[in-house]
Every structure is written in C-alpha cells, then in structure tokens.
Amino acid sequence: MAEPLNPGQHRALVGALADGDWHSGADLSETFGISRAALGKRIDALGAFGLQVERRHGTGYRLQTRLDLLDTDAIATPAGWRLELQPVTGSTNSDLLARDAAEDPQALLAEYQQGGRGRRGRQWVSPFGHSLMLSAAWSFPTWPRDLGCLPLAVGVCAAEALAGQGIGEVLLKWPNDLYARGRKLGGILLEHRGETGGACRIVIGIGLNVRPFADGQAPDQPWIAADQLRDTPVDRNALAAALLSQLAAMLAAYADTGFAPWRGRWQARDLTLDRKVNVLGPGAPWQGIARGIDTQGALQVEVDGQLKPLHSGEVSVRMETPR
C-alpha cells in the first residue's frame, strides 16, 4: 500500500507533473533527492487523490490529464476579502466555519477535498485539480431578511459567473443545484451560525465540475463538466475570480435588498418550471407540477389544482426526465 504524502510532497510532485508531459524517473528522483523506489511509492500515492499517472519503461511518468493548478496570485480578489488556497483539505466549508469571524469576508479554495459535503449529507468528491471548490464566509451584523432564499441568490451568482466565462447553458434546480443539458454541473451548500435578531455568519460552499471525469471516477448521477460546454478549456483561476466578484457584490447588498432583485434572475433559469417533479421527504413520495418560486423562495408545486409551497431543507425534488 502506498504511503500517504504530506502536503509539501504532494504539492511538489503534482506541480512537477502538472504539464502532462513525460518526465523521466531519474530526473524526478534527482529533483526531489529520493531513490527511484521512493519516487514510485509517491507516484502510487497520487491515486488516492483521483490522479491517474501513466508509466512507460524507459520514458518515465506523466499525468493522463494536464492540470492547470489554482494560483491565488492569478485570481483577482474583491476589495477587503482574504483568499487562501489549500491543495488538500477535509472540507473548505468546515475549515471556514472553524475560523475567526473577525477575518470575514474570506474565501478558501481547494484542489481536493477528502471530506467534501453536499446537501442532505451527501459526499462531494472530485479528482485533484478537476473542479472548482470554493467556500466563502461572510458576517452580517444583524440577521438578514430572506436568509432562507440566500442559496437561490448564490445559484444565480454561480450561473452568471459561468456565463461570463462563455458557459451560457446553465439552469438552476431548486434549491441548490446547477444543471446544463439535463445533467448536474455543480451544487451549493450554505451553513450559518447565529441567533435570530443578532449577528449572523454564513459559509457558502460551491462545487463546480470543470474538467471531465475519467472512467471510474464519475459520480453516481448524470453529470457534465464546464469544459464540455465550450470549445476551449475553462480557466479555473478566471472562473474563481468571476465567482468571487459575483458573490461579493451580492452579499454586500443582500442585507438591504433581500431576495427581491434575484428572484426574476433565478426564475429565468428555472429548470423545473412547469415540469412534473417527484417530492421526497417525510412520509410517502408524491408528485406534482412545479410552478416556480414565491417571494420567500419556496417552490410552488401544483397538486390537484392547488399550490403547495415547499421550503428548502424539508424535502428533495427530483425531475422525472432530464431536459
């Protein structure tokens, strides 16, 4: 079994192989000052991060997929924000939740999450360097109105950031998923701390598929990557900058405006509008026709001519067929 790499070893080895070219074992061993046997063990350890390395006798090693690594120096950060990058971490949301709110607003990027979380406790896993995994922390001095609608506004931010990078097919599935061509492109997880009437701190987690998954790495649901939605590879640093810019502007205004300015933009991207949906939650599953969201962000589902509002966190909504 391959021994785990410490962060420094991992960062150095991935950086050396990131160009996707062949690198001889002799050169890599000399670069890192280790034996060929030790190098082989480090190469084997990369498999734990979803990285596939080709080996060829007499030639050396190369990554099957070229990586463009994230670089905070290449990411334009909104004024007043602190941005940090962790090559490998457990969960960017958990990391920010544990940090001092006095440092907000702050954002954290990761190339790989070992314990990434989605809605309703689902795991979010992606190979190293293939996705954009970003969490942002923001502190409101008082409990903001329409807090329950905030994930919907975040979805609009993500969709519009993607559109700015030439990816204009993104639709939003209530309450926190991004879809394109009927397949999942990304998801949102929002967590908050505070007491009603007092200060409120939120941490927003966003995960976007950027590079396509290799065989055996794909999640157990229909998926799509941003690279499949345009002719040239997406610049992950540019996408991170665009997403941070959208989030910063929205969060700075949200306490005053609430969800109202974002509702129409969300509805314009509503994936389930006028479609049959299956509603899963406490009790037996049931069906209805999705009729958009109300001013409180609740999904309106028509059953026998009556509208029933669904609130995020209570249920899961699934479409019968992809668009």
Reduce the secondary structure of 92-160 to three states and give it as a string.
Answer: HHHHHHCCCHHHCCEEEEEEEECCCECHHHCECCCCCCCEEEEEEEEEECCCCCCHHHHHHHHHHHHHH
- Residue tagged active-site, from 119, 173, 211, 269: 119
Strand ranges of the sheet holding 286-293, from the earlier edge strand across to the other edge = 306-310, 299-303, 286-293, 276-280, 316-319
∠ CA(236), CA(206), CA(194), 5° rounding? 140
- Residue tagged active-site, from 11, 99, 181, 184: 184
Residue (of 86, 84, 63) closest to 75 by Cα position: 84
Query: Can you give the length of the chain in residues?
Result: 323
Active site residue 184: yes
| Contact predicate 110/85, CB 8 Å | yes
Active site residue 201: no
- Residue tagged active-site, from 82, 122, 193, 318: 318
Active site residue 318: yes
Query: What are the catalytic residues?
Result: 119, 184, 318
